[in-house]
Amino acid sequence: MAEFTPRVFSGIQPSGGLTLGNYLGALKRFADVQDAGVETIYCMVDLHAITVWQDPTALTRATRELCAGFIASGIDPEKSILFNQSQVPAHAQLAWIFNCVARMGWMQRMTQWKDKAGKNTQNASLGLFAYPALMAADILVYHATHVPVGEDQKQHLELTRDIAIKFNNDFGVDFFPETEPVIEGAATRVMSLRDGTKKMSKSDPSDMSRINLTDDADTIAQKIRKARTDAEPLPGDLDGLTARPEARNLVNIYAGLADMSAQQVLNAHGGQQFSAFKPALADLAVDRLSPISAEMSRLMQEPAEIDAILARGAERANTIAAPILKRTYEIVGMVGA
């Protein structure tokens, strides 16, 4: 097996406003990784976003807002490569090769496909079905070795490995790495505030189900106050959270925001009623999220600055991706590669 230089890649869709789930499951961890001494590449995956309908004006705004969210969360465009996917053509080009490597059955098993396509699969876009092959291309076009993601992306990362292995076997090469998912921390799966069994998601029709990174302090406090819970006080240990998904979710959110483990949160708050715990959580959330929200609004006043950051990031990304795509074409046997 070839040795690959450690390199981190991850992406977020500009498919709406950023949520606390995106922050704790992805952005906060991207910022932590940035200072760990490896190259970090972070992408606004606009080609993924259009696998479901996006209003063009809203997509433009969401892409800039997402870039502002990355920067406000601590990602430094000088240290990390920050760009939008559509501006580096190698993603879509490698995705086509991977469409021809991956099998229909692999895609059909993806839970995100089943969830997002719903019952009417005949009416879902072909892009939504092929989404994981594009995701594999996003990662492998940089020979990325590590991908920090939330728990929900684990299956897609396994598929990325399957595609790399099949490509290497089919062509008798040792060219693509078997990328590792990095799913760490107390809040790798932030759940809806209205239903502790459902993922917090930017496309959930209920705004009360999520905290948006652009919410003001009063809205954050109100959403936490109204979050669904049960009538029991918080337990003293993790076993006591079994079968209490809403309580577990609030404890995990607290832990993620405070950089604590869930057990440490229970050590401090076990025995408390939600009437005491929720205000403490609201204060913590406002304290951590308000500076991010303020910096996002400041950056959104400077769209030209954001566009310049993205353009520079795309140039840097392209210098890594283009030779890997060229070598892929040569391996596949394309004349002129």
Residues in contact with ligand AQP by CB under 6 A are 12-13, 15-16, 19, 21-22, 24-26, 149-150, 152-153, 188-190, 199-203
Nearer to ligand AQP, 150 or 313 (CB): 150
State yes or no: is 166 an active-site residue. no
**Which token pair is 181?**
């998912």
User: Max CA-CA distance within the chain?
Assistant: 69
Which residues lie across from 212 on neighbouring strands? 19
Q: How far apart are CA 30 and CA 283, in angstroms?
A: 24
Q: How far is the CB of 225 from ligand AQP (least distance, A)?
A: 20
* 116 classed as catalytic: yes
Cα dist from 293 to 28, 82, 133, 217, 220, whole Å: 14, 19, 33, 10, 11
Catalytic residue among 28, 79, 166, 202: 202
- Our CB check for ligand AQP shows the closer of 32 and 305 to be 32
**Which is catalytic among the residues 28, 199, 223, 278?**
199
**Exposed (0-12), middle (13-18) or buried (19+): which is 324, by Cβ within 10 Å?**
middle
Tell me how far, at minimum, the Cβ of 210 lies from ligand AQP, in Å. 8
- Smallest separation, CB 170 to ligand AQP (Å): 29
> What is the closest distance, in whole angstroms, from the C-beta atom of residue 168 to ligand AQP in the complex?
25
Q: Which residue is nearest to ligand AQP (CB)?
A: 25
- Between residues 71 and 331, which has the closer beta carbon with respect to ligand AQP? 71
> Smaller CB distance to ligand AQP: residue 90 or 190?
190
Confirm whether 202 is a catalytic residue: yes
Catalytic pick from 28, 79, 116, 154? Answer: 116
Environment class of 144 (CB within 10 Å of its CB; exposed 0-12, middle 13-18, buried 19+): buried
Rounded (to 5) percent helix, strand, coil in the chain: 60, 10, 35
What are 221's two structure tokens?
A: 């406090």
Q: Which residues are catalytic?
A: 116, 199, 202
